[in-house]
């Protein structure tokens, strides 16, 4: 079972519980209302989207793995991407004490970047190996235990 969890995390960058959460969240937006044309199941559609987001690989490589066409893979990614936009403000929040226009002006003043409201960076923070059944969830692609931290920065002037 641990190898399955590693496989899921390596390919989709989500735990199995995270994928189940996304299935429950997005199913009303993704589920087909008809059984015509052998529509992809919601679980497969979400997994194709997550694999694309996690790897950035070309769509035809997903077609080979999933035994679907490039067009079907592209359609699956779109079916996942569009409903995720609905939840954008639920999962991504910006500072409430600084206006977006002030942040844009700050970025422009620092580096002459127009219309920028944030810069994203990721970092692997090493941790001690946790005990328990989820230990494998904390092993990164370089084979050490870490937590992936994502930071959204504004300009230094805001």
Q: How do residues 37-82 score in pLDDT, each as one tens digit?
A: 677 888 888 888 888 887 766 666 666 667 778 888 888 889 999 9
Helix (H, G, I), strand (E, B) or coil at 48: helix
Q: Which residues contact 106 (CB under 8 A, 6 or more apart)?
A: 154, 155, 156, 157, 158
- The residue length of the chain stands at 158
Element (H, E) at 122: strand 119-126
d(CA 46, CA 29): 11
What pLDDT is attached to residue 61? 66
d(CA 5, CA 80): 22
- Which tokens is 41 given? 């199941």
What pLDDT is attached to residue 24? 93
Which residue would you say has higher pLDDT here, 8 or 135? 135
d(CA 4, CA 134): 12
What pLDDT is attached to residue 64? 64
Reference 94, options 148, 154, 158, 149; nearest CA is 154
Rounded to two decimals, the pTM is: 0.62
Tell me phi and psi for residue 140, to 5 degrees: -90, 180
* Spatial contact of 36 and 44, defined as CB atoms under 8 Å apart: no
- Which tokens is 111 given? 């580096």
d(CA 124, CA 149): 6
């Amino acid at each position: 079972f641990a190898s399955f969890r590693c496989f899921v995390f390596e390919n989709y960058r989500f735990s199995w519980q995270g994928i189940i959460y996304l299935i429950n969240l997005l199913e009303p937006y993704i589920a087909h209302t008809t059984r015509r044309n052998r529509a992809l199941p919601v679980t497969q559609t979400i997994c194709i989207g997550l694999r694309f987001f996690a790897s950035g690989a070309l769509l035809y490589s997903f077609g080979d793995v999933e035994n679907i066409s490039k067009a079907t893979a592209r359609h699956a990614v779109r079916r996942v991407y569009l409903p995720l936009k609905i939840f954008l403000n639920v999962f991504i929040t910006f500072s409430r004490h600084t206006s977006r226009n002030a942040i844009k002006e700050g970025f422009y003043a620092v580096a002459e970047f127009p219309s920028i409201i944030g810069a994203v960076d990721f970092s692997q923070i090493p941790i001690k190996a946790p005990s328990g059944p989820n230990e494998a969830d904390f092993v990164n692609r370089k084979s050490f235990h870490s937590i992936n931290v994502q930071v959204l920065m504004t300009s230094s002037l805001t």
